[in-house]
Amino acid sequence: MEQSTVSRRIARLEDMLGLALFERRRDGLMATDAAEILYPEAESAERSLNRLQVAATGLSTEVGGVVRLAVTESLADLLLIPNLSRLMTQYPKLDIQLITGLRLANIEKKGGRYRFEKHSFSL
C-alpha cells in the first residue's frame, strides 16, 4: 500500500474519531496517547473482522451432499415428492434420498425432468 493511501486512511480515521492519533514530525509519525490507548481495541476489532470473514466464507459455500429423509410412503407421495423438484433445482449438488418404510426412493434428473424411482433398501 502506498504511503499516500495510508496517510489518507489515517486522516479519515482521525476525523471519524475526532482525535489526533499521530503527531506529524519531520522524521515521521509519533503515536499520541490516544493512539496508545485505542491500539488494543483496534487489534481486537481487527481479529473480530477476521473471524467474521472466515465465518462468512463458510456460509458462502454451495449447499451439497446427501440428505436422507425417512418418512411414511403417503407423506412422501403427497407432500415431499411434489415439492422436491424446486429444492433440487435450487441446490443441484444435493443428493436427496427418501426412505419410505423399508424402501429407498432415488431422485434423478433426466432430460430436464425429475424421476422418482423407489428401490428396496436394507437397513
All structural domains of the chain: 3-59 (1.10.10), 64-120 (no CATH)
∠118-68-57 over CA atoms, to 5°? 140
Digitized pLDDT (tens) for each residue of the chain, 123 residues in all: 787 888 898 899 899 899 999 998 999 889 999 999 999 998 998 888 888 877 777 676 677 888 888 877 777 777 777 778 888 888 888 888 877 765 555 566 555 555 555 544 433
Query: What integer pLDDT is reported at residue 75 of this predicted model?
Result: 75
Q: Which residue has the cell 522524521?
A: 27
Looking at residue 32, its pLDDT comes to 95
Q: Which helix (H) or strand (E) holds 65?
A: strand 64-71
